Amino acid sequence: MLFYPLQWRGVPSPFPFLRRRPCSALGDLPPFGPLLGWQGIVPAKAPRMARDLVEVTTDLVSVPGTLQNLDPAKVADFLPPARVGAVAGTAAGRPGRALGRWLARALAVGVAQDVRSHAADGLDLTALCVGELTGPNVKGLVDLFQEVGKRELRLLVNSGLVVGLALGLLQSGCSLVLPRRLGGAGRNVTAEPERRWVPLVGSGVVGCVTNWIALLWIFIPVDPRRFGPVTLQGCFLRRQPEVARDFARFFATRVLTARKLLHAALFSPGGAATFRPHLRRRVQTFIRGTERISGVPSLASANTALLDSVTNNVALELPAALPDGLYAYADSALGLETALGDAMAAMPSRDFERLLHPIFEEDEFTLIAVGGVLGVLAAWGQMAGAGAWCVRGWHALSERARSVASAARRRLSGGGAASS
């Protein structure tokens, strides 16, 4: 119920005033429907959670600053001069003209220098991360929390077994003792409607308390506390170094990859508008260089509109000219996984606690209440099953008793006739 379903499922409301409405300006929705339905808490709160994760990431690591780690010469090594010259030459209207390899190399290095220095100017990290973790990609946010919180989620399940069993035994004892205290000694609680509230209420309380205790175990206490030889701390916080590595690995390989960062910075609408003037300047320098080599002037170098058209054509051809090896090098050079993991592992416990706790805290009351409702439903099902079993058992016992009595009467009747 924390993570699924990814989209709301249930009975839609026929009345506009009862339909689900965003509960914040960020687009968060309540997980439950106005009539009957449910959406996982994480998918319902995805817009806010994605923005919170962006804030955590940017506070720890300057993602635009990591672009400074790129070496323009190494970037240019992944762009063969023939390929660069073909792209720019075709865009400039000179597809068959020989272009100097040094000129194509200079264009590649120049563009790489601009990427390192100016790509961050048009990089909208919030839009990138929110787009990768919400809407049709909300499964990514679910995968993130399931990855970093796998042990804590397992604790929720296991604690339901252990704590629920202990509280269930206590509740069963109360169900047996309390009716007698109320004057119902020797009666079957499940068979009397006026006594059925005892196990129902008890199971509801058990369900609520079980979820509440599990949430406490995960996050409280935030800071380590010593009680004699025992040190207590929330199990999520004890795993801070491990969680930091998992979180950094996920973000660096699923969200903030070099491919996605460069495409957002260079080819998205906002990024392209910011980077296009730098690309235009490099293309103009390239065209003027071809003029000096060939001795033939180009219309694009003097005509502003034509130069803009050539720049746009280069921008359209550039994504296909970037090989996979370039992105692999950029991922290694940026070092986001290492930088983010180290910074997160060094966070104070109280700041680190805010990483996962919000997914439970947003609807903590809902989680506890759902535990109570499920406890009541489980008790009701057990009572209904026990009642049906008792009825069937009573009928079978009655039939057996009648059969035994009938057989005994026949034997007695046969013995009396023989003696006479």
What residues make up the domain containing 86?
57-134+241-351
Burial of 336 (0-12, 13-18, 19+ CB in 10 A): buried
Tell me whether strands 225-227 and 36-38 are parallel, antiparallel or unpaired.
Answer: unpaired
Helices (H), ranges, 149-239: 150-181, 197-219, 235-238
Q: What are phi and psi of 304, to 5 degrees?
A: -65, -45
The Cα–Cα gap between 66 and 336 comes to 7
The number of CA neighbours under 13 Å toward the Cβ of 226 is: 2
Q: Is 198 exposed, middle or buried (0-12, 13-18, 19+ CB in 10 A)?
A: buried
DSSP E strand stretches across 242-394: none
Question: Is residue 264 domain-shared with residue 202, that is, in the same domain?
Answer: no
In a domain, 407, yes or no: no
**231/319 same-domain check:** no
- Say how far apart CA 148 and CA 355 lie, in whole Å: 10
* Predicted pLDDT of residue 62: 85
pLDDT at residue 100, rounded to an integer: 54
**Residues 6 or more apart whose Cβ sits within 8 Å of residue 270:** 122, 124, 127
Task: Report the chain's terminal Cα–Cα distance, integer Å.
Answer: 78
249 and 171 part of one domain: no
Could you tell me which residues come within 8 angstroms of residue 209 by beta carbon, excluding any fewer than 6 positions away? 163, 167
Q: Is residue 305 part of a domain?
A: yes
Please give the pLDDT value at position 249: 92
Q: Could you tell me the pLDDT band of residue 185, with boundaries at 50, 70 and 90?
A: very low
The verdict on 225 and 245 lying in the same domain is: no
The confidence score (pLDDT) of residue 400 equals 66
Structural domain count of the chain: 3
Q: How far apart (Å, rounded) are the C-alpha atoms in residues 247 and 250?
A: 5
Q: Quick one: 248 and 291 in the same domain?
A: yes
Residue 319 domain-assigned (yes or no): yes
CB atoms within 10 A of CB 278: 19
Q: 């600053």: which residue's tokens?
A: 65
Among candidate residues 306, 318, 321, the one with its CA nearest the CA of residue 279? 318
Alpha carbon distance 118, 68 (integer Å): 10
Structure tokens at 368: 């506890």
Mean pLDDT value across residues 48-64: 84
Let me know whether 248 and 186 are in one domain: no
Q: What average pLDDT is seen over the chain?
A: 73
Q: What is the pLDDT of residues 281-307, one digit of tens each?
A: 887 777 777 666 666 555 555 667 777
Residues 62 and 38 in one domain: no
pLDDT at 291: 67
- Please indicate, yes or no, if residue 418 is contained in any of the structural domains: no
Average pLDDT, integer, range 17-44: 62
pLDDT digits (tens, 9 = 90+) for 319-368: 777 888 888 998 998 888 999 999 988 888 888 887 767 656 666 777 77
84 found inside a domain? yes
- Residue 96 pLDDT exceeds 50: no
pTM of the model: 0.69
Examine residue 229 and state whether it is found in any structural domain, yes or no. yes
> Do residues 191 and 362 lie in contact, with contact meaning Cβ atoms separated by under 8 Å?
no
Q: 301, 325, 351 — which closes off a domain?
A: 351
Whether residue 294 is found in the same domain as residue 369: no
Q: Are 292 and 162 part of one and the same domain? A: no
> Given a cut of 70, is residue 98 above it in pLDDT?
no
The rounded distance, in Å, linking the Cα atoms of 399 and 381 is 27
**Which of residues 368 and 87 earns the better pLDDT score?**
368
255 and 224 share one domain: no
- 194 and 216 housed in the same domain: yes
Q: What is the mean pLDDT of residues 183-204?
A: 58
Of the ranges 221-225, 248-252, 278-282, 292-296, the best mean pLDDT one? 248-252
Contact 307, 301 (CB under 8 A): yes
Q: Which of 40, 4, 44 is CA-nearest to residue 21?
A: 44
With a cut of 60, say whether residue 239 has pLDDT above it. yes
Q: State the maximum Cα–Cα separation within the chain, in Å, rounded to a whole number.
A: 144
pLDDT band of residue 70 (cuts 50, 70, 90) is confident
Task: Answer whether residue 399 is part of any domain.
Answer: no
Is residue 130 located within the same domain as residue 180? no
Q: Is the dihedral of CA 184, 189, 195, 197 positive or negative?
A: positive
Last residue of a domain, one of 327, 351, 375: 351
CA atoms within 13 A on the CB side of 84: 25
